[in-house]
Amino acid sequence: MPVDRILVDARIATMEPGADAYGTVAGSGAIAIAGDRIAWVGPMRDLPGGLDAVERIGLDGRWVTPGLVDCHTHLVHAGNRAHEFELRLEGASYEALAQAGGGILSTVRATRAADEALLVATALPRLDALIAEGATTVEIKSGYGLSVEDEVKMLRAARRLGRERPVGIRTTLLAAHALPPEFAGDPDGYIDLCCGPILDAVAAEGLADAVDAFCDRIGFTRAQTARVFDAARARGLPVKLHAEQLSDQGGAALAAAMGALSADHLEHLDEDGVAAMARAGTVAVLLPGAYYFIRETRKPPVEALRRHGVAIAVSTDLNPGSSPLHSPLLAMNMACTFFALTPAEALAGMTRHAAAALGIAADAGTIAAGKRADLAIWDIERPGELAYRIAFNPLYRRLWGGR
């Protein structure tokens, strides 16, 4: 079998489900790469003969994991909300600031005023921070444009980022994120815009890989969310939902019933919602950065998610208002310290289950023959270290599509 390079003398956490929580390859391992794909992975002693690799790369016993998958970000936006952070520390709540016309709408004003080039230029350093910690796939949502041209502009900027850097970008249309001022008092009129002209324009250019909505008191109702989902599914686009972040709206159960890839946040999720997600195979995406930064006190029901066998992903939620977190590793650490995930669950949450939350599990998220060779190589003694340190980056090298 012709391959392009072989990584040898590696310790490998494949993150494939199996005997141990990390899918560890026994002893010293090897990974053969052909083109952008993994051709073979296993113990060195089982390395098939006749692998005439052009290049053999010795890793001196370093650990290799799947490249990290940050499955929920809002990293394209203009401006910042440092002033609101100060106001919140003086007692204002996240929800009250939103109701007073700040919050998401303050970022909408800044994002509408920016052109595509400025959105790309300001997003690049944020994307680079994720890449520097081993991210090989990053999801990016729209949702600060809230008009046909501004949602399209955001998603074009997101796609551009994928051409500027060696990283997989998955885009999500989140037009139903907040009610823009020109639709004040007419949320259903805005949902008409989301379901018709915005979705049409985005679909015409193939700008979105999925469709999301914010179902909450300061977002949209279940009925409005269902309309957005129907319109998305009519165009063959998978759906996901910001659900049960600030209150319990039954959003996760709706998302599950409509076959959503994921329901995200979930601090206020109840047992019925968990059961609905389990039945549908909807991934639970936990966002501990938002929990931390808005000083939420209610935790997502991790024990119930485990008991029902719901897959748990972890992501940064990188955004200017509720989670200005640019570190996938810190998100994993927070998932352990705040939500009591094990370090293995946190790593599975940033790899295998994150890929499932994006509908790309066949291609990414674990180290297995046939998948993309998206790999992170770390200077660590054991994989649990990835969730252990705070604000330290042990990445040694990163491969995206075998390079």
Part of the chain binding ligand DI6 (CB under 6 A), chosen from 33-41, 99-107, 109-117, 123-131: 99-107
State the residue number with the nearest CB to ligand DI6: 321
CB 397 within 8 Å of CB 340: no
Give just the sign of the alpha carbon dihedral 217, 219, 224, 230.
Answer: negative
Among 176, 241, 290, 302, binds ligand DI6 (CB under 6 A): 290
Give the chain's radius of gyration (CA, Å): 21
249 contributes a contact to ligand DI6 by CB under 6 A: no
Give the residue from 142, 159, 115 showing the smallest Cα distance to 199. 142
What residues numbered 12-71 form the site for ligand DI6, per CB under 6 A?
A: none
CB 191 within 8 Å of CB 229: no
**Would you say 65 or 107 has its CB closer to ligand DI6?**
107
Structure tokens at 273: 């919602």
Residue 101, phi-psi category: left (phi > 0), alpha (psi -120 to 50), beta (remainder): left
Smallest distance from the beta carbon of 32 to Fe ion, in angstroms?
A: 38
- The rounded distance, in Å, linking the Cα atoms of 205 and 8 is 42
- The rounded distance, in Å, linking the Cα atoms of 20 and 315 is 23
319 contributes a contact to ligand DI6 by CB under 6 A: yes
- The rounded distance, in Å, linking the Cα atoms of 343 and 324 is 22
Among 67, 145, 320, 402, binds ligand DI6 (CB under 6 A): 320
Among 53, 76, 104, 239, binds ligand DI6 (CB under 6 A): 104
321 contributes a contact to ligand DI6 by CB under 6 A: yes
- The rounded distance, in Å, linking the Cα atoms of 233 and 143 is 19
Query: What are phi and psi for residue 283, nearest 5 degrees?
Result: -75, 140
**Would you say 319 or 366 has its CB closer to ligand DI6?**
319
The footprint of ligand DI6 on this chain (CB under 6 A) covers a number of residues equal to 15
- Which residues contact residue 235 at a Cβ distance below 8 angstroms, ignoring those fewer than 6 apart? 199, 203
**Would you say 339 or 400 has its CB closer to ligand DI6?**
339
**Would you say 262 or 333 has its CB closer to Fe ion?**
262
Beta strands in 210-254 (DSSP E): 210-215, 240-243
107 contributes a contact to ligand DI6 by CB under 6 A: yes
Which residues here bind Fe ion, judged by CB under 5 A? Answer: 317
- The rounded distance, in Å, linking the Cα atoms of 365 and 69 is 7
398 contributes a contact to ligand DI6 by CB under 6 A: no
Part of the chain binding ligand DI6 (CB under 6 A), chosen from 7-15, 64-72, 321-329, 342-350: 321-329
**Would you say 216 or 317 has its CB closer to Fe ion?**
317
Residues written for the chain = 403
**Would you say 225 or 245 has its CB closer to ligand DI6?**
245
Among 70, 317, 345, 374, binds ligand DI6 (CB under 6 A): 317
**Would you say 144 or 378 has its CB closer to Fe ion?**
144
Binding site for ligand DI6 (CB under 6 A): 74, 103-104, 107, 177, 214, 242, 245, 290, 317, 319-323
